[in-house]
Structure 1
Amino acid sequence: MKIVIIDYGAGNIQSIKFALERLGYEGILSSDAQEIKNADKVIFPGVGEASSAMRKLKSTGLDTLIPKLNQPVLGICLGMQLMCNWTEEGDTTGLGIFDVDVVHFEKKLKVPHIGWNRITDLKTPLFKDIQENEYVYLVHSFYAPVCKETIAKCDYGVEYSSALKKDNFYGVQFHPEKSSDAGERILKNFLDL
């Protein structure tokens, strides 16, 4: 299986590579359009700031390539947020895959939301063999509200989407590569899709 991790200068790529290796797979880092198109599975990671990340995607044409991909695609953290219509972070227009806008947590909440939290209302085979209220690891100040594409929820002063799905596109707000056994299982489920 050819797994491509989109390389556009947005962090956490090595930890994803290591998580794939623990599962017995090799992930290829690439920003090459042909290599990404030819992959069996695509992982769209992201740690950082939305507007600068989107500028990097646009500079390489990846902003037009990603929404046209036909194979399973998994957006992680900022990757998931950039797959939405728009994010309040830097007033940034996203890729428009998920029909929801990303907003900042209320001022009364401590941000970023860092640490372990429970995921609930799990839907789709992405969460096969994952228990309701399983803990995953999160680091974020912005979130996607619950919408028609929500396949898992989390609560941090407000209920929000911890995972989204539309067609062949999946997004998770949490970091499966840092979420212990549950995260590895979710990654394996994605690879098995």
Structure 2
Amino acid sequence: MRVRGVVKVGVVNYGVGNVGSIFNALRRIEAEPLLINNTADLRSVDAVILPGVGSFNSAMVNLSRLTDELNRVRGSSPILGICLGLQLMFKGSDEGELRGLGWYDGWVNRIRGPRVPHIGWDYVKLSGDCNLGVARGYYYFMHSYAVVNPVNEPPFVGFTKYGDSTILSVLCDEGNATYGTQFHPEKSGKLGLSILNGLVNLARR
């Protein structure tokens, strides 16, 4: 995909919070945020964000109308899952009985740690490079569920220690142009904006 001019970034509307924060962050990097409510909206954008925070079941119910189209555009348009959006890419979650998108093997578990939910700044360690432009450093987390103790191999490239467990914090699947962060880049200062800018740059290629 090669985009000229302003990049249109679609934020999927499945009834979760935080959309306003993402819109504001995208405007700061001079992208055009659009809310995706149907397949026509999805076809009109250059990149896609699956946002958080929210309930796994509710998100999958609302996302079901877009699943086929998401599978179609995956690989041609870059997709970024944030928090819950990352979790939806896996087979399922302890949080609900509905199946996830199933793009990746793994299961989402309730985290164990000094405090649940895990809220605040925490360190992300990288085991490999990612063309999204993710750097090791501190990012803002807000969640009670995650992929816990994942294998340390691609596309899993970023990890955060929490209590006695390790949380998957960055997924980087360059071959399918699919990415995910357990933290919230839109709330993570310059490092977070760099990730969103990386998504925009991928849409230009």
Structure 2 length normalisation: TM-score? Answer: 0.85
The match for 2:120 is: 115
1:101 touches 1:144 (CA, 8 Å); kept in 2? Answer: yes
Partner amino acid for 2:171?
L
Q: CA deviation at 1:8?
A: 1.9
Which residue matches 1:181?
190
**Cα offsets for 1:144-164 (capped at 9, x unmatched):** 132342121111121121011
Deviation at 1:56, TM superposition (A): 1.4
Structure with the larger RCO, 1 or 2 (CA within 8 Å, 6+ apart): 2
SS at structure 1 position matched to 2:160: strand
**In the alignment, does 2:27 pair up with 1:24?**
no
Which SS does the other structure have where 1:120 is aligned? strand
8 Å Cα contact 1:98/1:165 also seen in 2: no
Q: Give the CA deviation at 1:46.
A: 1.9
Contact 2:117 2:144 in 1 (8 A): yes
Amino acid at match of 1:7: N
CA distance in 1, matches of 2:14, 2:58: 11
Q: What is the alpha-carbon distance in structure 2 between the residues aligned to residue 109 and residue 85 of structure 1?
A: 27
**Aligned partners of 1:98 and 1:164 also within 8 Å:** no
Provide closer, same or farther for how the CA distance between residues 63 and 109 of structure 1 changes in structure 2, counting only shifts above 3 A. farther
Match of 1:68 among 69, 72, 83: 72
Contact 2:94/2:109 (8 A) holds in 1: yes
Question: Pick from 100, 106, 112: which aligns with 1:100?
Answer: 106
Q: What's the offset of the Cα at 1:103? A: 0.8
Which residue pairs with 2:139 in the alignment?
A: 136
CA RMSD of aligned residues (A): 1.5
Match of 1:159 in 2: 166
Structure 2: unaligned runs, 5 residues or longer: 1-6
Residues 102-125 of structure 1 show CA distances to partners (whole Å, capped at 9, x for unaligned) of 11113x542000000011115212
- SS for the counterpart of 1:162 is strand
**Aligned residue-pair number:** 187
**Equivalent residue number for residue 36 of structure 1:** 42
What is the identity, as a one-letter code, of the residue corresponding to 2:104? F
Secondary structure of the corresponding residue to residue 165 of structure 1: strand
State which of 180, 190, 196 in structure 2 corresponds to 1:171.
180
Runs of 4+ in structure 1 over 3 Å off? none
Deviation of the 1:6 alpha carbon: 1.0
**Is 1:43–1:75's contact at 8 Å kept on the other side of the alignment?**
yes
**Are 1:87 and 2:93 counterparts?**
yes
Aligned to 1:150: 156
The runs of 5 or more residues in structure 1 that have no matched partner are none
Question: Which whole-Å deviations, capped at 9, do the CAs of 1:85-116 have from their partners, x for residues lacking one?
Answer: 1111113310011221111113x542000000
| Residue of structure 1 in register with 2:200 after alignment | 191
Tell me how far 1:73 sits from its aligned partner: 0.4
Contact 2:185 2:193 in 1 (8 A): yes
Kept after mapping to 1: 8 A contact 2:169/2:182? yes
